[in-house]
Amino acid sequence: MGNLFCSEHPIHRRFDLKGSSHGRMTDKPEAEIDETTTLKDLDLNLIFRLQNSWFQEFHRCSCLVC
Protein backbone atom coordinates (compact mmCIF):
# COMPACT_ATOMS: atom_id res chain seq x y z
CA MET A 1 0.00 0.00 0.00
CA GLY A 2 1.43 3.37 -0.97
CA ASN A 3 0.94 6.89 0.28
CA LEU A 4 -1.46 9.13 -1.60
CA PHE A 5 0.57 12.25 -0.82
CA CYS A 6 4.37 12.26 -0.82
CA SER A 7 5.80 14.57 1.80
CA GLU A 8 8.89 15.05 3.90
CA HIS A 9 6.70 15.99 6.89
CA PRO A 10 6.44 13.41 9.67
CA ILE A 11 3.32 11.25 9.49
CA HIS A 12 1.37 11.27 12.76
CA ARG A 13 -1.82 9.52 11.52
CA ARG A 14 -2.14 6.69 8.97
CA PHE A 15 -5.41 5.70 7.35
CA ASP A 16 -6.34 2.58 5.40
CA LEU A 17 -9.10 4.01 3.20
CA LYS A 18 -11.12 1.59 1.11
CA GLY A 19 -14.27 3.65 0.51
CA SER A 20 -16.46 1.29 2.53
CA SER A 21 -17.92 2.24 5.89
CA HIS A 22 -19.17 -1.17 7.08
CA GLY A 23 -17.15 -2.12 10.14
CA ARG A 24 -14.39 0.31 9.23
CA MET A 25 -13.40 1.88 12.57
CA THR A 26 -10.35 1.28 14.72
CA ASP A 27 -11.13 -0.58 17.92
CA LYS A 28 -8.30 0.99 19.95
CA PRO A 29 -9.06 3.59 22.63
CA GLU A 30 -7.88 7.12 21.73
CA ALA A 31 -5.16 6.95 24.40
CA GLU A 32 -3.55 3.93 22.66
CA ILE A 33 -3.50 5.44 19.16
CA ASP A 34 -0.04 6.53 18.03
CA GLU A 35 1.80 7.09 14.72
CA THR A 36 2.08 3.32 14.14
CA THR A 37 -1.68 2.71 14.39
CA THR A 38 -3.48 2.25 11.08
CA LEU A 39 -6.83 4.01 11.31
CA LYS A 40 -9.81 3.16 9.10
CA ASP A 41 -12.40 4.97 6.97
CA LEU A 42 -14.78 6.07 9.73
CA ASP A 43 -11.90 7.31 11.90
CA LEU A 44 -11.21 10.07 9.36
CA ASN A 45 -13.27 13.09 10.41
CA LEU A 46 -11.98 15.58 7.84
CA ILE A 47 -13.49 17.03 4.70
CA PHE A 48 -11.17 17.50 1.75
CA ARG A 49 -12.06 20.29 -0.65
CA LEU A 50 -10.25 20.58 -3.96
CA GLN A 51 -10.57 23.11 -6.72
CA ASN A 52 -12.69 21.58 -9.48
CA SER A 53 -9.74 21.36 -11.90
CA TRP A 54 -7.63 19.56 -9.24
CA PHE A 55 -10.45 17.12 -8.53
CA GLN A 56 -10.91 16.39 -12.24
CA GLU A 57 -7.17 15.72 -12.64
CA PHE A 58 -7.05 13.53 -9.50
CA HIS A 59 -10.09 11.56 -10.67
CA ARG A 60 -8.62 11.13 -14.16
CA CYS A 61 -5.29 9.85 -12.78
CA SER A 62 -6.91 7.55 -10.21
CA CYS A 63 -9.06 5.99 -12.94
CA LEU A 64 -5.96 5.18 -14.97
CA VAL A 65 -4.67 3.06 -12.10
CA CYS A 66 -7.79 0.88 -11.90
Amino acid at 14: R
- pLDDT of 53 strictly over 80: yes
- Average pLDDT of span 32-54: 85
Confidence label for 21 from pLDDT (cuts 50, 70 and 90): low
Eight-state DSSP code of residue 36: T
Q: According to the model, what pLDDT value does residue 2 have?
A: 63
pTM for the model: 0.52
Of residues 39, 43, 35, the one with CA closest to residue 16: 39
Confidence label for 3 from pLDDT (cuts 50, 70 and 90): low
Phi, psi for residue 59 in degrees, rounded to 5:
-65, -40
Share of the chain above pLDDT 70, in %: 79
